[in-house]
A and B are shown apart, each in its own frame.
Chain A
Amino acid sequence: MPRVVVDVMLKPEILDPQGQAVANALPRLGVGDVASVRIGRRIEIEFTGEPDLDRAREIADKLLANPVIEDFTVRLVEADETADARS
């Protein structure tokens, strides 16, 4: 069953202290070549019937993202791709 994936990211101008904290931890792993890290959220939606991108966009705009501070993208993925992303 294909799913709709919603990716939510803080807008570029909004400070991401979580991402900064992760970036600051990387040198302790011996990683010195990362300029910045930003953290977002991936949401997978499964519809009871056919996946509906417009509906997903509406859900994202009203609830999943806060348009004041976040941007989102909506896309269809096949079930396999979802599984791959998890492995």
Chain B
Amino acid sequence: MTARVGVVTFPGSLDDGDAARAVRIAGAEPVRLWHGDPELHGVDAVVLPGGFSYGDYLRCGAIARFAPVMETIVDAAQGGLPVLGICNGFQILCEAHLLPGALTRNQHLHFRNRDQILRIESAGTAWTNAFQPGQEVLIPVKNGEGCYVADTATLDQLEAEGRVVARYVGGNPNGSQRDIAAITNTAGNVVGIMPHPEHAVEALTGPSLDGLGFFTSVLKHLVGAPA
């Protein structure tokens, strides 16, 4: 049976269309979810896409966290549902306390938009098991508030538990602490990533096809996951 992967649209989401396309190219059925509808429509995994939900008012992701769909997603994620937050989705996951730390204004204050090399540090998550640990991938980064911060104890814990999922290589685009580009929760089912794997799934539009691995990973994970 084809896996069903939900993609949430918030007011101000930008990359929901690309995320749904990436899901389809990876071989799953994308299911569009609406921020105001708490029902997850039987999806096997969820992607929170990039963009500027609620205009980034207050703080990025702060208001999206209280959307009806998020209450259901937070519960489901705590129960093991794979959730990938990309860019604004990463910010929402931090605001919802599914991931530790916070994303703040890029240290140099510039919006950064470029193709970025990442090193996959943890291939043990639901969203990175198609990669080899240490593998380098090329994926677009585009953010204004992508600087990951957390207190030293949290950073040390993330490192010790292998929960830093990806790091920037060849230049840190936003001042992120310890070059962190992606992290995961303790169970490995929730991943937040600042760069955009959904923009690197086709030769026509992306700098590589490396982003596809995130989406094929979750399919692998779902096949292996206990029902």
Let me know if B223 is at the binding interface, CB within 8 A.
no
Q: What total of chain B residues lie within 8 Å of the partner, measured CB to CB?
A: 19
Let me know if B62 is at the binding interface, CB within 8 A.
yes
Q: What total of chain A residues lie within 8 Å of the partner, measured CB to CB?
A: 10
In contact, A14 and B149 (Cβ under 8 angstroms): yes
Q: Which residue on B lies nearest to A43, using beta carbons?
A: B58
- Partner-contacting stretch, out of A45-53, A64-72, A79-87: A64-72
Q: Which of the listed residues A17, A18, A21 has the most CB atoms from chain B within 10 Å of its own CB?
A: A17
Q: Give every chain A residue within 8 A of B59 (Cβ-Cβ).
A: 66
In the docked arrangement, what's the CA distance between A29 and B104, Å? 28
- Partner-contacting stretch, out of B34-42, B68-76, B105-113, B162-170: B105-113
In the docked arrangement, what's the CA distance between A63 and B97, Å? 12
Chain B interfacial positions (CB closer than 8 Å to A): 58-59, 62-63, 66, 94-95, 100-102, 104-109, 149-150, 175
Chain A interfacial positions (CB closer than 8 Å to B): 14-15, 17-18, 21, 63-64, 66, 68-69
Given contacts A15-B107, A17-B108, A66-B59, 17 further A-B contacts (CB under 8 A): A14-B104, A14-B149, A15-B104, A15-B175, A17-B106, A17-B107, A17-B109, A18-B109, A21-B109, A63-B58, A63-B63, A64-B58, A66-B95, A68-B94, A68-B100, A68-B101, A69-B102
